[in-house]
Structure 1
Amino acid sequence: MQTPPQQVPAVLDGPEVKFSDPHELLLGYLDWYRQALMRKIAGLSDEQLRTPVEPLGWAPLGLIKHLGWIERRWMRWGFAAEDLLPYPPGGDEAEWNVPAEQPAADVLAIYQDEVHRSRALATDASLTDSARTGGRFQSPEDAPTLGRILFHLLQEYARHAGQLDVARELIDGQTGE
């Protein structure tokens, strides 16, 4: 069966098409979604990055800040059991809002630093390795595997990338990857 002439098959987005190893696939898709977020905010002015999008109620830069905290919570506090602050002082409000005096470049640098740390932890471990105890998880029975944590991160990114698609279209009409 042929594709109708007016219809073009969608490009297979994501990591290298020859990846078959689950570890490579999870890390590849996470990196692809992380890069997709950067593509989706490219070209937005500082004001557009910071202004909450109605009816969503959050700004694109706030979403990036939130995802930095997600990386930190799940990989550094969760998987590696690092002794660190897993939530910002001020709760959800502080996690999603960027103070006017904080440069956008700082928010992006903090996010990229968390991504770098997460990637290093995930690259050096096996999908079957359990999270260390003492951070987010207090007992071995509660500690998920790295594979489970990465899959959770992947669904977080997929959901938020879709939300950012909608936000970008509401901001300036731009659509697509």
Structure 2
Amino acid sequence: MLPEPTGTHPDTAGSLVRYLAFFRAEVRRKLDGLEPDALRTTVLPSGWTPLELLSHLVHMERRWFVWGFLGEPLPDPWGDQGPDGRWSTTDSLLARLEAGAVRTESVLREHPLDARAALGGRFDADPPTLHTIGFHVLQEYARHAGHLDVVRELVDGAVGEDASA
């Protein structure tokens, strides 16, 4: 288990990198040990399955950092709104999550946080700063890790940090 980042870090970009890594590890830990049927079945009123939440995180991170901040074209930036999360495997989605993490970390380390996102990708006007994008993605991870906390509690009774294999 990756420990939650602690202390005071004057390096905001480094803090974002560490907290994103922490929440990605939490998501992996919450998924670990769920049976295949539980990964593809919803227990949430929203209808999300654990694999659909994972697919959403994979696509969301690419949407904000690659298509959004860098302005690079993506073949399917909204792919999490299709069947990807239902038909992908946990391993393939986790591999894509890790590849996205490498890309995100390079963006956060190579660009100033006050830099504005490129126009022409996700944004046509008034692009947000990298700082805003980083914190938006961080809150998405935290929120969906919380959803997975609820899933584990409902599926097997594991709560909080006890929900691991």
Do these two structures clear the TM 0.5 threshold for a shared fold by scoring above it?
yes
Partner of 2:143: 159
Which has the larger Rg?
1
For residues 66-103 of structure 1, the C-alpha deviation after alignment (integer angstroms, 9 at most, x for no partner) is 10010110000000000113112xx72435x322xx43
Partner of 1:4: none
Residue 87 of structure 1 is aligned with which of 78, 82, 99?
A: 78
Whether the 8 Å CA contact 1:75–1:121 is kept in 2: the answer is: yes
Count of matched residue positions in the alignment of Structure 1 and Structure 2:
158
Whether the 8 Å CA contact 1:30–1:157 is kept in 2: the answer is: yes
Q: Which residues of 2 match residues 20-59 of structure 1 at below 5 A?
A: 20-59=10-49
TM-score (norm 2): 0.86
CA RMSD of aligned residues (A): 1.8
Q: Which residues of 2 match residues 4-153 of structure 1 at below 5 A?
A: 14-85=4-75, 86-88=77-79, 92-94=81-83, 97-99=85-87, 102-139=88-125, 142-153=126-137
What is the CA-CA distance between 1:21 and the residue it aligns to?
Answer: 2.1
Whether the 8 Å CA contact 1:16–1:28 is kept in 2: the answer is: no
Q: Distance in 2 between matches of 1:116 and 1:24?
A: 13
Whether the 8 Å CA contact 1:56–1:167 is kept in 2: the answer is: no
Identity %: 42
Which sits farther off after the overlay, 13-22 or 118-127? 13-22
Q: Secondary structure at the match of 2:160?
A: coil
Q: Which has the higher helix share?
A: 2
Q: Distance in 2 between matches of 1:20 and 1:45?
A: 41
TM-score (norm 1): 0.81
Q: Structure 2: which 5+ runs fail to align? A: none
Q: Distance in 2 between matches of 1:75 and 1:159?
A: 18
